[in-house]
Chain A
Amino acid sequence: MNTVKLVAVAACALLLLAACKNASDETRLKRREVLYHFNPIAGDCVALFGEGAVRKSTPAQVLADLSERLDNLAYIGIENDAMHIDLPWPYDDIDVPVKIEKNDDALRINGIHGKIALSFTAYALDGQNTVLRLDGKFCHPMPRLLKENVLANCIKNIVKKIRKARD
């Protein structure tokens, strides 16, 4: 009986913690913070998860807004199936041929050599806000912190641009 109680208490605690975390992220998103974090993965790669909320929008609108602005994004710009990644001097910028897949739920940009992959999805946060989410991977021999800087600035800038269009 005691074991059952303990398990129940632990489960409740975990649920509560998860709820707190979600609530906290949700609050931060509602406060218009752009959230992101990174994980180093094999080789010279880093994985990014980032999201930011856009007011007065639906997921479909946010993805459509993003789709329209691919050529005008800071740090990455996509034109004619090629992505131009801005890197700080003394690194040269990178131009990567990419394949873009669009459907109702997501917009995926994949470098043809597999060194960069960005997947944008959107979901409704509440009746007013939609969250644009980016799951990405970037491989380059530059130091990890630089890659993180580029990706973080990229998601922040994308969210800012779409907000500007919507707000």
Chain B
Amino acid sequence: MTDRFALLVIPRPGIDELYYRLDEGMVAGPGDIVEIELKKELIWAFVRETTGDLPAALRELPCKPVRRVISDTALFRDRRETAFLEWLARYYLYPFPKLIKQIFAPFISPSLTLPRPTDRRDACSRPHEPAVLTDDQATVTGRLAARWRSGDTRPTLLYGVTGSGKSEVYAALCREQFAAGKQVLYLVPEVSLTAGTLRHLETRLGKKPVLLHSYLTPKRRFTAFSQAQSGEAELIVGTRSALLYPLPGLGLIIVDEEHDPSYKNIEPPYYHARDAAVMKGHLLGLPVLLGSATPSSESWHNARSGKYHLERLPRRPGDRPLPPVRRFPFHGETYLPSELVDAVRDSIARKEQTLFFVNRRGFSTLALCRDCGEIQKCPRCQVTLVYHKRRDALRCHYCNFSRPVAPCAACGSEELSLEGTGIERFVATLRELFPGAAVVSIDRDSLPNETALSKELAAIEAGGHDLIAGTVMISKGHNFPALRRVVVKYADFLLTLSDYRAAERCFQVVTQVAGRAGRFDLPGEVWVEALKGDHYVWNYLPRYDYEGFIEEELSWREELLLPPFSRLAVVKIVAPTEEKADEAARAIYDELRKALAGRKVRLLPPVAPPLQRIHNKHRRHLALSAPSLSAVTPVLERILAAHGKRRGIVVTCDIDALSTAQI
């Protein structure tokens, strides 16, 4: 007998789930998208489950019919896929209907249709060049494949030094999965990393991967989704949102650069794609492979405690050495030691490249009034405006506010001094120091789209530029054969932040950038500028001693009961005025203090975060940490339900927050 009723998830605020009738002849199953009438309006809804009968309390009430099924095929036919989304919504304290809406709303047009997938046969086989694996790579690949064949799907952390060929291991494991008729989901932290990854995988596997990320237009994304869903695509490369889509033939999830903070969603739901991938693997019984040259403290801790398997790639192919690291002190914003300048000149003459990592956008990082001393700030956000020479304007990097440099917002003076160095000024300095050299800048302002970025990256790979200056966009995932040298300006700037994760981030960023050098035949070298030369990071970084560093870092964390030895949640309050933000934060704090009294929870009073006003909204944070959040979650759920709906005030909760100092 076919089910006569469907429990629908309604993507409308205030309504979660409703039963609708399935008339005779209509076939809809869990995971389908259907059209219904709600309050005289036609809307779409998601079928959570179907049933033969209504719950007793609803039997006497009228039940409206489902008008039609929008999706041709069930999207989430596998109950475990829906269970994964339910887990994600529940764990990260986000309403399930809103999550469903986020996933499907971009696809569904106002006329309540799903776009037709365009016939792009990208996934067909092409000639390819499989790599010859080194002994280390072959051993790791063989061990992983054997383990997975035996049914051991415990997640694995693949720790391999930069340039050790982790991506060759991934490609070999992908081939094994394809041979078994399975799909592979390959997650990358950022869209900017996908171009190089796609090229590499295509070369190695002879298959054009299907790309799935939120920057695609809804139609392209739906096409990719349809190819993935139908099983036509074997390899799906995507950013964190790709994890939310169902893949019926999934056999393996690879999380490349697993340490990267971009895997954490910075708006609700605050899910961490790496952690969610581990959970998806558990629910679906799939292996998950996490790879990094600088694993996150959580993953290292999990590997150390046996929660993950640990595999190592300790050296580069052919025993090529990691590039030696030389430190130089900070002597000014654009300072470079004369020895380095000479070396760069020699390299230019030999057509070798040098990469300068300057992780600051714009020309000057602040504009200071010479008359009243006021630092020019965004009127909408509590942040300093950055001068962009290309546009000759001061800009806010958070709300895109823009204004001419003068006059001073406080006293009207025309005398403003542009201080601090961003990448634009640094590039200008390079052009002065090395006249005639071909300089390219890889940053979001110079290369606003994917096409421009891919073009420049291809030119660098072909040896078309002498000097490359880049922000974090250039720091990982790229292979430049002619790169001789990496120079890291303000290498330990991150250590000046009041964030317990500062040392870990600093070690990761510098190691990743340094790792771009010496990956091919050309020996590499790395120059780093240190502000805080006595920090313990410097005991390990020059030797690339990640294990030594992370062990010391974890010993501190354990002593101070910081993550991963405790769990951190941050309640975020956003209100239209400062008073309202304070009032709401205080009320929530008092409630939490009462509700959590006597439990092993450290609750910190509400504070204004470093960026306390964004888009004219005032923000307050309230952090709590506990050995486990399981007991705290119901309390937080209650708080969100009570405070989340107040007019003008938005209360959200970042579970497993990466930092207490997060923006």
Contacts and interface: CB of A to CB of B under 8 A. Distances in A.
Q: Do A and B bind each other?
A: yes
Interface of A: 86, 88-93, 140-143, 145-146, 149
Contact of A143 (B83, B275, B628, B634): B83
B283 A90 contact: no
Interface string B619-638: 00000000110110110000
B630 A89 contact: no
A93 B633 CA distance: 17
16 contacts: A88-B278, A88-B282, A89-B279, A89-B302, A89-B307, A89-B308, A90-B272, A91-B630, A92-B567, A92-B627, A93-B305, A140-B630, A143-B83, A145-B87, A146-B282, A146-B283
B630 A142 contact: yes
Given A89-B307, A90-B656, 10 more contacts: A88-B281, A89-B275, A89-B278, A89-B279, A89-B298, A92-B627, A92-B628, A141-B631, A142-B630, A145-B86
A10 to B, nearest CB: 21
A93 B283 contact: no
A-B pairs, top 6 by smallest CB distance, nearest first, are A88-B282, A90-B275, A145-B83, A141-B630, A89-B278, A143-B87
A88 B279 contact: yes
A149 B283 contact: yes
A139 to B, nearest CB: 11
B630 A93 contact: no
Nearest to A141: B630
Contact of B155 (A89, A93, A146): A89
Interface residues of B, number: 27
B543 interface: no
B278 A141 contact: no
Nearest to B566: A92
Nearest to A145: B83
Interface of B: 80, 83, 86-87, 90-91, 155, 272, 275, 278-279, 281-283, 298, 302, 305, 307-308, 567, 627-628, 630-631, 633-634, 656
Contacts, number: 45
Nearest to B633: A141
Contacts of A140: 630
Contacts of B305: 93
A83 B275 CA distance: 25
Contacts of B634: 141
Contacts of B308: 89
A88 B277 CA distance: 11
Nearest to A156: B151
A167 to B, nearest CB: 17
B278 A90 contact: yes
Contacts of A86: 307
B283 A145 contact: yes
A145 B278 CA distance: 15
B13 to A, nearest CB: 24
A151 to B, nearest CB: 13
A157 B16 CA distance: 39
A92 B283 CA distance: 16
Nearest to A150: B282
Contacts of B282: 88, 146, 149
Contacts of B298: 89
A96 to B, nearest CB: 13
B450 to A, nearest CB: 32
Contacts of A88: 278-279, 281-282
Contacts of A145: 80, 83, 86-87, 283
A112 to B, nearest CB: 17
Contacts of B627: 92
A146 B302 contact: no
A143 B631 contact: no
A91 B627 CA distance: 11
Contacts of A91: 630
B630 A146 contact: no
Name, among A86, A92, A93, A140, the residue most crowded by chain B CB atoms within 10 Å (CB to CB): A92
A88 B305 CA distance: 12
Given A141-B633, A146-B283, A93 B307 contact: yes
A149 B656 CA distance: 23
Nearest to B655: A90
Contacts of B302: 89
A79 B628 CA distance: 23
B511 to A, nearest CB: 23
A72 to B, nearest CB: 13
Contacts of B567: 92
Name, among A88, A93, A146, the residue most crowded by chain B CB atoms within 10 Å (CB to CB): A88
B315 to A, nearest CB: 28
B80 A90 contact: no
Nearest to A140: B630
Given A86-B307, A89-B302, A92-B628, A143 B86 contact: yes
